[in-house]
Every structure is written in C-alpha cells, then in structure tokens.
Structure 1
Amino acid sequence: MATTNKVDNSQSNAKPGEDNKDEPCKICCNDYKDLVLIGDYNARCYPVHKSLLIITSGYFQSFYSRKSFVQREFGPIYITDVEPSALVQCLDFMYTGYLDINSKNLRNLAEAALVLKMYGVWECCVDYAATNVAMDSFFDLRMMAASTICVKLLHATEIFALCNFERLMTHEEFALIDKILMVFLLKNKKVKMIPEHKVYEAVIAWINFTPNKRKQHLSELLNYVALEQLPIDYLRECVHAEPLVMNDAECRNLLEKALFSQIQPDLVTDDGSDTLMQDTMVMFDQGRKDVVSYDPWSGKWKDFAICDFEFDGKCIAVTVEKCVYIMGENGRVFRLDTDKNTWREMAKMGTERGDPRAAVLDGMIYVSGGTVSETNKSMRTAERFDPKKNLWEKLQSMKKPRSKHCLASSRGFVYAIGGLNNNNTAVKLVERWGPSSGGWINVAPLKRPRSGAVSAVKEDSIYIFGGTFTPDISVEVLNPTVSGWTTINVTIPKNFVAACVSGEDIYVVCSSDLMGNEKYELHLITFDDEPVIVERIDNIQKFGCISVLRS
C-alpha cells in the first residue's frame, strides 16, 4: 500500500510554505512537518507531522513499529491505495476534526479510513451513512455494512429495507440482497402485510439470480412464506409449475401442506399451521440409550428411536433439516434420520473434546473449545462439519481457550459465550465468528462471568440461562442489532442443564441440584409479558441432550 523512496529531504518534491490547493491543512504551518506523503504518481505532496500521523493512523503505527525501520530515515511515502481527495480529507481531519461528507465521497472516505485505520474518520462515515440510507444508496451501503461487519450500518439498512421492502422487490438490484437480510425481512411481521404472492415471487427471483448457489436456501426461505394463504389456483398453476420448487423434496412438502390446508381447512390451526406437523423436541437419554420425543402441541412424550451405541462422558445434539446429530467427548458422531428412523455413524471430529459445544449455521455444524482429556485444560480450536459431504474442516482457533461455554448462532454469525479458562475461572468473554471474516473477534461481554450456562436463540436474540458461577438465577439476552447484553431475572430455583426453542416458546431442562444428580424437570418460559411466566411442564427421569425437529 505504502512505499518509501529513500532520498535526501532536500531533493523532496515537498516545498514548505508553497500555496498548494491540495495541501491538507491551513491552520498548521509547515514548520516542523517532518514527513511528506505523496498521494499518487503525479507527485502531489502533503507535508505532515509524523508523530501526529502515528497517533491518528493505525496503519502508520504498524508501519513505524517494525523492527526493520528502527534508526532509519525516510524520504516521501507514496500512498497508492487511497483516492487523493480522500487522503486530503483524512489528513485535514487529523488536524481539524472536520470532515465534509456527502453521498459522492462517502465510499472513497470510508475506504481510505479502513486502509489507513483512521477509526475517527470511519465512525464519522458510519454515522453519516446510517442516517442517510436512501433507495439509490441502499445496496452500496448494505454491501459496505456486510463486508465490514458494521453492526450499526447493518441495523440501519435492515430498518430501511423493512420499511421499503415492496419497493425493493421491484428494484433492478434486488437480487443483490444478502441471504441474512432476506431471512430477516421474510420473518418480520411488517412484510406479512404485503400480498403473499408478491413475497413468493420475490423469493423465486432472488434464487434465480444465481440458482446454482442459492437453490439450497429455497426451502428455508419458503418456510417464511405463507403458502397456505395463496389461492389454490395460484398454488397449482404457478408454484407447482416452478422447477425450483418441484426439484426440492422439502419445497414439495411445503407445497403439499399448503394444498392440504386448502382442501381440509378444519385440520389446520388458527395460525395456518398443520396440526400434524408441529415442532418436536427430541431427547437422547444417555442412561437408557434411547431417544424420546415431546410434542409441545399435545404435551405427550413417546418413544422415538433406539440406539446401539453409547458415549463416555457428556454429549450434545443438534438438528440439521430432518436429521439429529449426536456428538460425544470421544469425537464420535451419529446421525439419526428421522424420516427413515435409521442411524449412521458419521466422520469423526478432527479433535476429541471433553464436554463439547456445538451450533448450526447455514446447514453446517460448528464445534469449538472443550477440554483436553489428558490435562483437563481448556481448548481454543474450532471446526465445522458439512453433513452433505460428511467432512470436518478445521477453522481458525478462538482467541482464548474455553470450556463449558455456550455456542449459539444468530444472523449469520456463531457466538462463543462465557465458559471456563485454563485457570478454572469463569469468564465474561464473548467471541463471534463469521463466514466473511473467517476468524473470531471480541464482541460485547456478558454482564457477569458464566460457566456451564445453556443457550437458546429466539427471533435472532440469544438467551443465556444460569451458569454455576452466577450468584442468582438470571438470564442474559443479546440482540445482535443492539450493542450489549440485558439481564432478566427468572424465578426458577433450579440449575439449567439444557434449553431449546420450539415454535414461539423457549423450553428449559432444569435440575434442583447444581451437580445435576437429581431428577430433571421441563419448564416453559414466556418472555413476551412482564413478569416472565414460568410453567413446569413435566418431570424427566433421565437426561442426556436435547434438540428440536422443525416442522
């Protein structure tokens, strides 16, 4: 990005005191300016104070901290990756704290701020962009927000898209919307006011932009489209005639349910869902080596499957499509295909983990942390599993080693929350992993240290229950569109051992003993009202792990 030309300063193109319109600052004279920046190969020169530049720019802090640069003198420094007028503004901001931002120079200024790591300039650009989202700038700002993972700008573009979704659907660049935003919009109640056939057609148009890459998301998106509200003629003539729908088994199932609801409306609940296709909680009983299921709609438990394997230590369960994956401390992974009621042992984890943690994001299973069996020390490593390829892939390790933490996914990110460090101390630390960055970054920490807590994700908000190091029974909630965690007190004098979301409800499994040695109870928690409503549903004799099959 920057190159140096080691020449005598007397031969520099910089001319102190020269009245140059490109010279960045007029309130500071050229006296004592000991560095010259050249903005392009036309040799436009900008004298600056090196010490001030180092304080203001993270790039130049790194540039001058390299050991190879110690005790060396430099001539002009060429800045080739920053648009010259944006460079002038950044340098002027360094002296005056003033920026002249408008829609025409916003992108160049933002790119310059990121390259030079001038975070004051970047914050000004974000503030301007977040308050000036318009139809002609929306798509550029959304791509800028997504590429930089800027939460404030992501939130601003989401709110704009939500209020203008019907206009966006007819925009020529609509197909450029990212999948995370599509899901957010389809799930929101405001979008439900738009005629359902328009929403369906918008989904199909979005998929058709790059069908080979996006068709894998069609069934997920159609789950948020109220197909049962479409006229039966439209279902038969348009939806049934769409190859993308008919070539996907899950989509065909959604279409069949919608047609069935039109033919047999008396078998459909008030919210339009088929009473025979509710979410089902599936619990793996580690003591008896069988699987039972709980139907929240009927309130009944029943035998679900029998397994002929067992794990040493604790295990975890996650659901991908219609399959439940159970993973143990020895790295073994078993898949239960609920349609065929068959088990299959899958590829073993790349690393054996004591007390592992897992989350699902975009059909992939993510695992991080845990303990090393030989030393009982916490781990930093992370990996993910592709169920379609039956393949584990190593990921960048977390910044800090942790075990007994929570792992949850929301809005396209995986969050590693709390846990124990190598000193056996509970931590507040929260790290976030995203596919675009490929690495972990620190985000807002918990209000208090938590170890052995459990998590559930409802409407993109992450709920953290209990933890053996918390002085009281409390819940912390993170909404990724709002910075920081909020605390909710829940009056359950129990130790939380598992949590999951079924439909609109959060269910938790609790034990009255902190060591988890006594009988377990299933509770339903409702956060929609004040105070929080807690209802004990049933007793559980044995418990291993729990997951939810989506309808």
Structure 2
Amino acid sequence: MSGEDIGNVNGIDSSFLGHPKVNGSSNDSDGECNVCCSDICFIGDYNGRYYPAHKSLLMETSGYFREYFARNTAQEASKEPIYITDVEPPALVQCLDFIYTGQLNITTKNLKNFAEAALVLKMDGIWDYCVAYGVSHVNIDTFFDLRMMAASTFSQKLLDATEMFALCNFETLMSHEEFALIDKTLLLFLLEHKRIKMIPERKIYEAVISWINFIPSKRRHHLPELLRRVNLEQIPIDYLKDSIYGELLVLEDTECRNLVEEALFCHLHTNLSAEDGSCVLTRNSMVMLSKNLQSALSYDPWSGRRKTFRKTTEFEGSYVSCSVGRSVYVLGDDRSVFELDTFANSWREMAKMSVDRSEPGVTAQGGAVYVTGGVAMATGKGVRTAERFDPAKNFWEKIPSMKKPRFRHCLAASRGFVYAIGGLNNNNTPVKLVERIAPKQGVWMNAAPMKKSRSSALCVVKDETIFVFGGTFVPDDSVEMLNASGSGWTTLTIPIPKNCIAACAIDDDVFVVCGSDSANEKDLEIQEFRLDGEKSNWVEKMPELGQFGGLSVAMSCT
C-alpha cells in the first residue's frame, strides 16, 4: 500500500501523512513505506478523524498501546481505528508526532492536555517533558493546575516546585479565587512554614475558614487540625470574640472552641502576656538561659516573637537544664535547683540534689527529671550515680547507678527508656558507650554503642527517635540515629549547621544555636535543619545570643 492509497481512506487526516516516516523516503520510487505497511494502524480521536502510525513505534513508546495490542492480536489483520476518546485531538496528534520526532510544542495553555494525554497513553517521554516544563514555569497563573497535576500523580519534582512557590507567595495565594482548590497536604505545609513570610494571623485564620467553607460537608472535620496551626492568641481580642468565637463551625467543635477560649484567656490575663498582648509562649518555644541566670529569653521560631523573663539573682556557677511541661528546671553544680515557670513568669528555688555534680546528663521522662553521672566537685572524677526529681512533690530520690562513670554525655528519653549516650570517662577519653534504664524496672542495661566516640555532643528526640550529632573528637558532620528497636545506630548524611552549641526539637522541626559566618565568636544564629537530609534555608540572626549559655524547651500556655 502506498502513501497515496492510505490517504484515500475515508476520514483520515491527510496532512498527517506528510510525515516522512509514514509515506516512505525519496529513495522509494513507488512511494512505498520503508517500514512494512502491515505495521501501520489507525488512531482515531473523538471527532472521528484517523491518524496513521506504526504499531511497532506505538508499542515502543506507549504503555497503553503495548497493553492494547497484547489484548487485541486480531488488530494486526484489521484496519479499524483505535479510538482514543480521553485525549484532546490536538494533543493526540502531537503525541503521535512525538514518537517520530521526539519533540513537543508545550505552552502553559496546552500543558494540562499534554499531561493528561501522557497519563492516558502511558508515554513516559512526554510525561518527563511535561514535568520539566511545569517545574520551570510555576507562576500564579499556572500554580493551581500544576499543583493539582502534582497531587494527582505524586510527581515529587512538581510537588517540590509548587511547595517552594507557595512558600514564597503564600499571601498572594490566599487572596486568589482558586485558593480553596489546593489540597490539604499543601495547606498544612504552608501553615507550618508561614514564618517564611510573616502574615497577620487574622488573614491566616480567614484563609483556613474559606478553605473549609468551600466544601464544608467534606472539610469541616479538618478544622481542629488546621486551627491548631493558627496563632489565635496573636489575633486582636475583639475579632476573637465577635468573629471567630461566633463562627458556627468553631462553636460546634469542642476542640476548636477550647482553642479560641484559651486564646481569649491569654488576652484577659495581662500578667501572663507579653507587651503585644499575646501569651508568654504561643506553642513549644526555645528557652535560652544566660550564664548565672541573669537573663532568660523565650523564642518562638514559628512567629519570630521573643519574650524576656524575670531575672533571678540567687544562682551562681554552671548548670544544665531541661523542661517538664511549662517549667524549665535548672540544675547547678552546687546541688541547687531552680524552676522557671514560663506560664507565671516567675522563679523559685526547689529541693536540692543529693550530691553535687558538674557536667552531668539531664533529661525529662514521664513528668520527672533524671540526672546521671557528671564530675564530683570534691574529687574531680566522673561518677556513676543517678537520681530522679518529682516536680509535683518537690522531692529527689536516688535511682540505680550507671554501669560506668562518665560526664559530658547525652541523656535522652525514648520509648519508655532513659538512655545515657557517649561522654568522657575518667581518662578524659570519649566513649561510644550507651546504657539505658526502664524506670519501672530500675536496672541499667548496655545498649548498642554508637559508631563514633562522642563527648559534649548534641542530642534531640523526634517522634521517639534519638538523633545524636556533633561533639568533640568527631572528624565529620555525621548524624547517628538509634534504630527503632534500639539494636543499632544508623549514620545519616545530613548537612548539619556548623559550630552547633545547642539543639532542640520543636514539633516536627529541629533547631540549633550555632556560629554564623562572622569571625565574631559571639555572633550566633538559630538555624533549622531537617533530619530527612533536606537543609532548610531558614535562618534567624540573633546577635544577642552571645550572652546565653544554655538552651531548653518549654511547653506553651495551651
């Protein structure tokens, strides 16, 4: 069959037959196809037009046609068109042309049609073209289509590109008429990272409510989860009372109603509020303590807000600290213990430890404070002893001693155990040793040792998983993660901020106090980094941190 013969078939788009791969080359005097014409089939669109194409090329480039011909072997002897009704005709023509030329004429107007065609026809080559084009053309006009395309196909490249655009243009997106079309995953992502571009909390709340009200029957159950990510206490009290507390969706949900009432409580109790009328702490916040406790500062990395606490003049010497609920407990090397109540903004002296110890490990577990090891002030040697403090009873009790003496070690609580990790022995040698105790059983047991010896390391617990990084005598920036079973450590390759001096986990984020690029040793900053290996660009310069020597985390007033 010649190209002319094919062109005479009723309904065929003859313009498509001009393709050299279909009509044969100039070397064929009779115009016969180079590829056997029995290999040619016809693809029909929903308008009834037919387009010839080589079956072998269709099967090579399209998963759809491979599956089709595997199911319909009789098609080899038939010239009945294969109708593709789920693809727009112009996109179908270009997809067929793509198998010969490897080229597409993609624009922002036809990208959606090409993407849909690529998914229907299972043409990976066209899909890769669409993704590459979409990633490089994210703007306010294309964002919503690209986001829906990313969410429906789970394309990680498109998901990342649309997330980054949304972070940088959150306020613009909130006022867009299609804002309610974004997926819940992205909305949560934006609410949790809105510190990238500070926006009044009233606007944040209004965006959440408009998103819920778009399909209230299907979305109202998401309101508590979303409202927890809005700093309601930073919204003016009149708007809280008249608009938010009067919103039917809020009133009908107990958790939402409680969130609003707690925000109102913060406004009404001025002695618990900062100068701008908001609560001392809005959610989990970093509490930084200066040497000798002459200064104490809370910092909310979500909003950038700071709150200075009252001073205490009764403390001297070095210390370690940890938090239980709303209180931060400071343990001095002279046995002294002080409590900073972040809710009442007050200090008080607590019961003293049973022994004096310098550079011990400290953590909180089950509402109690645990202290282990350290250097005995009288002998200058590391000790094995351990004790536990009950804040409710203001009472210290001795617990079994560790197997080995150590100091400058990490103490961390996870999965019902308290872990003593690394540190220095009495030869001033860093160790890999890890021990753990189950408070109810009261026996220290050896656990899997770390892969590297570390002392003065930093340790955070996120989702019950222990991460250890930094410290002395460590030649690289590795992070070690204790496996869920506690049977071994995994080394993670993560870009850790340099010169870290303190760290804490707040909700789903890890924040560190570290040195900046400045040569000034006191020029410090706070950085966030992610334990999945993706480094955040978020940095908060805080030169005033040079005076602080500790870092802890205290719960919010909610």
Could you tell me the TM-score, scaled by structure 1's length?
0.50
Could you tell me the TM-score, scaled by structure 2's length?
0.49
